């Protein structure tokens, strides 16, 4: 889907300092200070327009959430929603997931969410998939020992690839669903894409995977 350019997005977001973080590197190791508490910190890589992370933040006020969305023209939708309906436990970043270690200290993030990531179906683009081994190493670097990744997609190919990639990396799975909405958990928060694909009758694949503590 082609992104609609919004030239005003950057200036608008930078004016919302209570929501949008313009210099996340300065908060590395100090996110608890930014939120004013020591609650767990969950991040979503590729937050889109924010339906999932805002739903989670509402459902879990005792958890701090950071929406990470590379494209300003998309992330601005999250910021607008937070201006209209303030949520003190949410912040927004427009950074590249490859550089997470520049913004978070070791063990500072308690959980990573990956929802409906770009499948990059061509083999030559495998390194761009958010479950490729280099990305997994990045997540591991900011998560605590035994930290978890929660993953959802409608793309069976990406799901199978991710299971294999995580397994080869040494991760283990605590939950796997091949059709999440058959017995949908009451606390499941749907993303925009999840609602769309489910309405089309496509199964939603989900997993929870954890890194093995290193000895």
Which tens digit of pLDDT belongs to each residue from 152-206? 999 999 999 999 999 999 999 999 999 999 999 999 999 999 999 999 999 999 9
Find where tokens 């929603």 sit. Answer: 81
pLDDT value at residue 142: 98
pLDDT value at residue 193: 94
Give CA–CA dist 70/78, Å, rounded.
12
Catalogue the long-range contacts made by 124-129 (C-beta closer than 8 Å, 24 or more residues apart).
126/161, 129/158, 129/161, 129/162, 129/165
- Work out whether strand 64-68 and strand 41-45 pair parallel, antiparallel, or are unpaired: parallel
pLDDT value at residue 213: 82
CA 8 distance to own-chain centroid: 25
pLDDT at 2 over 70: no
Mean pLDDT of 73-90: 97
Give CA–CA dist 211/7, Å, rounded.
40
184: Cβ–Cβ under 8 A, 6 or more apart, which residues? none
Give the helix/strand (H/E) hosting 142. Answer: helix 133-142
pLDDT value at residue 158: 98
pLDDT value at residue 68: 98
Which tens digit of pLDDT belongs to each residue from 88-145? 999 999 999 999 999 999 999 999 999 999 999 999 999 999 999 999 999 999 999 9
Residues acting as catalytic residues = 118
Structure-model confidence comparison of residues 212 and 114, the more confident one: 114
Predicted TM-score (pTM) of the model is 0.95
Residue 3: band (very low, low, confident or very high) from pLDDT cuts 50, 70, 90: low
pLDDT value at residue 172: 97
Which tens digit of pLDDT belongs to each residue from 21-71? 999 999 999 999 999 999 999 999 999 999 999 999 999 999 999 999 999
Burial, 82: exposed, middle or buried (Cβ in 10 Å; 0-12, 13-18, 19+)? buried
DSSP conformation letters of 49-110: TSHHHHHHHHH-TTSEEEEE-S-HHHHHHHHHHHHHS--TTEEEE---GGGGGGTS-TT---
- Work out whether strand 148-153 and strand 205-210 pair parallel, antiparallel, or are unpaired: antiparallel
Residue 215: band (very low, low, confident or very high) from pLDDT cuts 50, 70, 90: low
pLDDT value at residue 4: 77
């Amino acid at each position: 889907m082609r992104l609609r350019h919004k030239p005003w997005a950057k200036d608008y977001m930078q004016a919302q300092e209570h929501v949008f973080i313009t210099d996340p590197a300065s908060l590395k190791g100090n996110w608890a200070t930014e939120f004013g508490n020591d609650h767990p910190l969950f991040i979503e890589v590729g937050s889109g327009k924010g339906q999932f992370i805002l739903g989670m933040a509402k459902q879990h006020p005792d958890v701090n959430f950071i929406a990470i969305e590379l494209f300003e023209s998309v992330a601005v939708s999250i910021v607008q929603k937070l201006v209209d309906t303030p949520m003190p436990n949410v912040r927004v970043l427009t950074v590249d997931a490859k550089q997470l270690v520049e913004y978070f200290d070791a063990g500072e993030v308690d959980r990573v969410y990956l929802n409906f990531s770009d499948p990059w179906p061509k083999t030559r683009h495998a390194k761009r998939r958010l479950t490729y081994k280099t990305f997994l190493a990045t997540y591991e670097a900011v998560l605590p020992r035994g930290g978890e990744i929660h993953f959802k997609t409608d793309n069976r190919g990406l799901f199978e690839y991710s299971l294999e990639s995580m397994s080869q990396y040494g991760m283990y799975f605590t939950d796997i669903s091949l059709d999440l909405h058959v017995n949908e958990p009451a606390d499941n928060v749907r993303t925009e894409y999840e609602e769309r694909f489910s309405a089309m009758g496509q199964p939603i694949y989900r997993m929870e995977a954890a890194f093995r503590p290193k000895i």
